[in-house]
Amino acid sequence: YSDSSGPVDFTIAAEQTVHAVVHVTTKSKSERTAVTPFDFFFGPGIETRQEPVVGFGSGVIISANGYIVTNNHVVKNANDIHVKLNDNREYDAKLIGADPSTDLAVIKVEATDLPFIPYGSSDNMKLGEWVLAVGNPFNLTSSVTAGIISAKGRNLNIVNDQYRIESFLQTDAALNPGNSGGALVNIKGELIGINTAIISPSGGYAGNSFAIPVSIVKKVVSDIIEFGTVQRAVLGVVIQDVDADIAKDKKLDKIKGVFVKELKADGAAESAGIKSGDVI
């Protein structure tokens, strides 16, 4: 990468990370209901057939001994998970655990001395900083695209889980189907996010790409590896962002913070003395 005196150089970050992003293919079985040929003679009959469904996406090697992080939606309901490295080595992978609340999953291959991407800091990333997205769009392996951090802390309500945690990094690095589970890295080649979603009227890249920040990824991955599931606390509040109306009603000098709509009975927030109507 470069300092402020010269142009940005992406080549080092690209070369360091492209070998640690893998192509993930999955096979699952989907049941299809069909009308049988005997219906004409014997009345209505139903035949259920299981048909193979193939999916694909990306994954990021995070340790030399084969742990790989990807999106939950890439491996959800998969019966078989297959991983292909940039150097064409191929492995069958085992699902270690998944977390629908953050759309993350950890898989593992039996290998050693694998290239991996070290964790960086998503919290320290600033608006306008350069980033690279590494993945496998449309099954085109080892593709690298560049962009900037467009926004932080985006809540899109796209994770279908009552305990969803969303705080996406938004970028304008080109993402397309197949990039899911791939790496978002800074120009030092450090992992700052897992590419997850796009907003697009056509289904293809339209300039708005979203990644799960590594601050969330680290917690989820470490818990899955250690416990098999994510350990999380429940605050016991239902909240919403402070808007202009709430700020006026509460006589706040700034439109900032979260408004406590209600409390869960006997929850941690109630025990701590927080009340419905408070602004945090």
Residues that are catalytic: 73, 103, 180
- Contact of 178 with 57, CB cutoff 8 Å: yes
Closest by CA position to 240, among listed 278, 212, 199, 275 = 278
What is the number of other CB atoms lying within 10 angstroms of the CB of residue 31? Answer: 8
CA 260, CA 241: separation in Å to the nearest integer?
9
Report whether 103 contacts 196 (CB < 8 A): yes
Q: Using the 8-state DSSP alphabet, how is residue 66 labeled? A: S
At 19, list the tokens: 């070998």
Provide the strand spans (E) within 186-233.
191-198, 209-213
Q: In 10 A of CB 121, how many CB atoms?
A: 14
Q: What is the CA radius of gyration of the chain?
A: 22
Three-state secondary structure call for residue 83: strand
Q: How many residues does the chain have?
A: 280
In this structure, the number of other CB atoms found within 10 A of the CB of residue 246 comes to 17
Spatial distance between the Cα atoms of 145 and 150, rounded to a whole number of angstroms = 15
Rounded-to-integer distance, Cα 33 and Cα 269, Å: 49
Yes or no: say if 117 and 17 are a contact pair by the CB < 8 Å rule: yes
Tokens standing for residue 137: 């769009």
